[in-house]
Chain A
């Protein structure tokens, strides 16, 4: 089945530790995105990538890093510089936007990150 796979489902981070969240898609989508969801807040964009080896910061990129070495994969690293990492992290993908026409974003089932 085509879709977006995020792993692990639950992740725990110790103080001062970097952790990496995995996102893999087999939809042949060019664009991929990382969002953070907190209670009482809308999803907020962390990073996005429209093509391999290129990515841009979103609204809340501080304390996070990404790479895009393969079309199918867009891992997110939550670094120790992110002081409030506890949240639900969602990965999405879409076909590459052409001009101003919106291309729907489809989401994985998320990773819940907590601090030990």
Chain B
């Protein structure tokens, strides 16, 4: 079993929809949770990261961590075609070694 599980998609939504992207994990020692966005043939871009449980909001993006369920989510409000990309979750125990999910491909159609 992988430490971090993420549905590869693709997830197709119309422009303006609310998108929910999720990851589950098995290691209860994970403390930091990150979301990266990766466009085709580009490096991952850090969107946001959170420490422990709770919510964090940045513009149209909200990250949510539920440590009791070992489940993290990224919500995108008012999705735009420019949001079409692969979204990677990553987490660690507090040291710099990250464990990544495989990524979910998101397609937002105009």
Q: Which residues of A contact B (CB under 8 A)?
A: 4, 6, 31, 33, 40-45, 48, 50, 58, 90, 92, 94, 97, 100-110, 112
Contacts and interface: CB of A to CB of B under 8 A. Distances in A.
Interface string B80-100: 000000001010101111111
A109 B45 CA distance: 9
A43 B101 CA distance: 8
A103 B96 contact: yes
Nearest to B34: A104
B16 to A, nearest CB: 29
Interface of B: 2, 4, 6, 8, 31-32, 34, 36, 41-46, 49, 51, 88, 90, 92, 94-103
24 contacts: A4-B43, A6-B43, A41-B102, A42-B6, A42-B88, A42-B101, A42-B102, A43-B44, A43-B98, A48-B96, A48-B97, A58-B97, A97-B96, A102-B31, A102-B94, A102-B96, A104-B46, A106-B46, A107-B36, A107-B43, A109-B42, A109-B43, A110-B41, A112-B41
A42 B43 contact: no
Contact of B96 (A43, A90, A94, A107): A94
Given A107-B43, A107-B45, A110-B43, A101 B94 contact: yes
B8 A102 contact: no
B98 to A, nearest CB: 7
Contacts of B94: 100-102
B92 A102 contact: yes
B26 to A, nearest CB: 14
Contact of A42 (B32, B34, B42, B100): B100
